[in-house]
Copies of this chain bind each other. A is one copy, B any other.
Amino acid sequence: MNSIKVKSPATLSNLCCGFDILGMALKDPFDIIELISKEEPGISIKHIDGYGLPSDPKENIAGVALQAMMDSLHYTKGFEIIIEKNIKPGSGIGSSAASAAGIVVAANELLNRPFTKQQLVSFAMEGELLASGSRHADNLAPCIYGGLVLIRDTQTLDIIEIKTPPLFITIIHPQIEIKTSYARSILPKDIPLKSAVIQWANVAGLISGFLCSDYQLIGRSLQDVIVEPIRSKLIPGFDEVKKKSLEVGALGGGISGSGPSLFMLSETLSVAKQVESEMKSIYNNLGIDYKTYLTEVGQNGVEVI
């Protein structure tokens, strides 16, 4: 086998109270990444999408992640990468993570799996570092492991898979730009201990809700008293989306990653559809372009196709 094609899914990170520690893989949307081994050294990259991403492997997220893996193997031959991105860069649903995770999983398969999932996350983080300037795994880890994951410790990459009951996920991506670095810069360095206690009580409730399939507890725990009050101001329509979604029966939700995408979790498909319709109507009224997704938890993460 000298070529492989994978689909690499979008991911939700944070999940309200789980800032910087939780991420969930989605079924849709996903990028398609093809990897072809070649005898000549080096990486060449071709995009068959319209996003104008860099094809210089040193400036490309997939290129940097793949190079990190090749360096670790002292690999002397090369690869050609063909990327068809469907997850719009800057959407807040893990577009860069999908590139970095997809390529390392693909290369690991082509090379007969020399690496563990944890090692793959570590290589992919080199790509994420290029994208966001910081080493975070909360989109990468779910993309590689599938499902919901907890990054208990980023230093040692202590990644814990958390089982979830079936969930329907509605996402709206308003076509506005929020830089991850800016969204991070407006967060306070210090927070009140009282707020932190509220946050970790909700984190505990959320994990318990997922593991015990307690939908109502999931809903009550999807609160974020630290980050959401600040970042939500960057997203027109946020308050109304949340209010209307809860009114039609969503369990809860908030900002995906650093935004601008918003997500809502629902127990049933019919509620998730109603949430989508409310979201559309709110952004139609605001006159802001958008794209919506109605999906489920992606249990497998990156998959060979």
A residues neighboring B (CB under 8 Å): 17-22, 150-153, 158, 160, 162, 187-193, 196-208, 211-212, 217, 220-221, 226
| Bound-state Cα–Cα, A38 to B20, Å | 58
**Known: A152-B220, A208-B150, A226-B193. Contact between A199 and B202, CB under 8 A?**
no
Distance of A252 from chain B, by nearest CB (Å):
13
A201/B162 in contact, CB under 8 A: no
Distance of A190 from chain B, by nearest CB (Å):
4
Q: List 12 A-B contacts (CB under 8 A).
A: A21-B201, A150-B201, A160-B204, A160-B205, A160-B208, A189-B192, A190-B192, A190-B193, A203-B203, A203-B204, A204-B206, A207-B211
| Bound-state Cα–Cα, A196 to B19, Å | 10
A205 surroundings in chain B (CB, below 8 A): 150, 152, 158, 160
A19 surroundings in chain B (CB, below 8 A): 197, 200
Distance of A207 from chain B, by nearest CB (Å):
4
A193/B187 in contact, CB under 8 A: yes
* CB-based nearest B residue for A162: B208
A204/B158 in contact, CB under 8 A: no
A22 surroundings in chain B (CB, below 8 A): 204
A221 surroundings in chain B (CB, below 8 A): 152
* CB-based nearest B residue for A198: B153
Known interface pairs A190-B193, A199-B200, A204-B206; 15 further A-B residue pairs with C-beta atoms within 8 A, sorted by A's residue number: A17-B200, A18-B200, A21-B200, A150-B201, A150-B204, A152-B204, A152-B205, A153-B201, A158-B205, A160-B205, A196-B196, A196-B199, A203-B203, A204-B207, A208-B211
A199 surroundings in chain B (CB, below 8 A): 196, 200
A162 surroundings in chain B (CB, below 8 A): 208
Distance of A303 from chain B, by nearest CB (Å):
25
A192 surroundings in chain B (CB, below 8 A): 189-191
A20 surroundings in chain B (CB, below 8 A): 197, 201
Distance of A224 from chain B, by nearest CB (Å):
11
| Bound-state Cα–Cα, A201 to B156, Å | 13
Distance of A20 from chain B, by nearest CB (Å):
5
Distance of A129 from chain B, by nearest CB (Å):
18
A18/B204 in contact, CB under 8 A: yes
| Bound-state Cα–Cα, A183 to B243, Å | 40
| Bound-state Cα–Cα, A257 to B190, Å | 24
* CB-based nearest B residue for A19: B197
**Known: A208-B211, A211-B212. Contact between A197 and B160, CB under 8 A?**
no
Distance of A16 from chain B, by nearest CB (Å):
12
A197 surroundings in chain B (CB, below 8 A): 19-21
A204 surroundings in chain B (CB, below 8 A): 18, 21-22, 150, 152, 160, 203-204, 206-207
